[in-house]
Amino acid sequence: MRVAMYYNNRDVRLEEMPTPHIGPGELLMRVEASGICGSDVMEWYRLAKAPLVLGHEVAGVVVAVGEGVGRYREGDRISASHHVPCNTCRYCLSGHHTVCDTLRRTNFDPGGFAEYIRLPAINVDRGVYPLPEEVSFEEATFIEPLACVLRGQRLAGLQPGQSVLVMGSGIAGLLHVCLARALGAGRVVATDIVDYRLEAARRFGADVAFRAEQYRPARLREVNDGWLADLVVVCTGAESAIAQALQSVERGGTVLLFAPTEPGVTIPISVNDLFFRNDITLTTSYAGSPADHLTALELIRRGLVPVREMITHRLSLAETGLGFRLVAEAKESIKVIIEPQR
């Protein structure tokens, strides 16, 4: 089968490798659509493991069913999670599924930028989601990223009517804007350094969108009835954005760090000013639980988060390298989908 083998963001090669063989409890999925995630182009995170086949935002069709699998048949339309929890450890039992050791070890074989992937038995057991007919394969690639956003806003405790500032309007930021609007947020404000993405933020529900270099907390007050934001979501690892976020959160509010920084970055924080005196919550979020994936699928099915409109590029497997360059440049693209069967 053909795969897109990742060496670095400027070197993604179309190569051949054997189609995976499945065993008991496993599925073989023909990949119809696979989204390029922002994490796929984080070279500081990926290069040590290269070469490898990336891709975890997938949807496709079951083409082979392993012995003992009773819930799925050949021809079923599905999406799948690459990481799944054990559901029995102390982390899972306390609701922290995404720090489960099992979740951090599980994955596809080989990855979503391939014609076929093998879904291990544990993924089949707790990480496969049948697709309703009204949800297309390309829309289903948004289940995983939207699940991550759902978990983040849930941990941040967003309530209807609260104001939200989203810093960084790439795909994660835009999903945060859309979801906050769908969940009944009040004023939604976005920032970015690229005009193309600022316009997208307005299109997907932001009341106001500022260029990041022109943004100041005082400007937020001007458009938010004199208040800072109840929730600030940081969808960029830029130190300047994190510093602005800490200055932009209202007393009693929450700052959600949704993107990693470069390795080794530290941020100075005034404990007295932020936490002791102003009751600010600072939290992070990584990945999503199986329940988050199911909720994301339902939001997409009902059209509450218009993910299809976020797709700017649909490329063949041979064009995966172009897709990586588009996502890494972060200019005039939002969501890039690879279609391995083209």
Contact 169, 191 (CB under 8 A): yes
163 lies in the same domain as 138:
no
211 lies in the same domain as 330:
no
CA angle 314, 199, 231 (to 5 degrees): 105
Residue 68 belongs to some domain of the structure:
yes
**What pLDDT is stored for residue 271 in this prediction?**
87
Contact 109, 59 (CB under 8 A): no
Residue 209 belongs to some domain of the structure:
yes
Residue 126 belongs to some domain of the structure:
yes
Pairwise CA distance, residues 223 & 8, whole Å? 42
203 lies in the same domain as 312:
no
211-266: pLDDT as tens digits: 999 999 999 999 999 999 999 999 999 999 999 999 999 999 999 999 999 998 98
Residue 299 belongs to some domain of the structure:
no
4-28: pLDDT as tens digits: 999 999 999 999 999 999 999 999 9
Pair type for strands 281-284 and 249-257: parallel
Q: List the structure tokens of 314.
A: 């649909």
| CATH number of the domain to which 253 belongs | 3.40.50.720
246 lies in the same domain as 223:
yes
Is residue 144 scored above 90 in pLDDT? yes
| CATH number of the domain to which 329 belongs | 3.90.180.10
Query: What does the mean pLDDT of the chain come to?
Result: 96
10 lies in the same domain as 118:
yes
Residue 243 belongs to some domain of the structure:
yes
180 lies in the same domain as 133:
no
8 lies in the same domain as 107:
yes
Average pLDDT, integer, range 55-72: 98
Residue 268 belongs to some domain of the structure:
yes
Any alpha helices (H) in the chain, and if so which ranges? Answer: 43-46, 90-93, 101-105, 121-126, 137-140, 143-156, 171-182, 195-203, 217-223, 239-248, 271, 290-301, 320-329
Is residue 273 scored above 90 in pLDDT? no
Pairwise CA distance, residues 197 & 52, whole Å? 30
**Full domain range(s) for residue 247:** 147-284
Residue 55 gets the label, from left (phi > 0), alpha (psi -120 to 50) or beta, of left
138 lies in the same domain as 7:
yes
167 lies in the same domain as 190:
yes
Q: List the structure tokens of 334.
A: 């939002």
CA distances to 117, 276, 287, 321 from 164, in Å: 38, 22, 21, 35
Specify the number of domains making up the chain.
2
Residue 88 belongs to some domain of the structure:
yes
Pair type for strands 27-35 and 116-119: antiparallel
Pairwise CA distance, residues 12 & 150, whole Å? 31
Residue 246 belongs to some domain of the structure:
yes
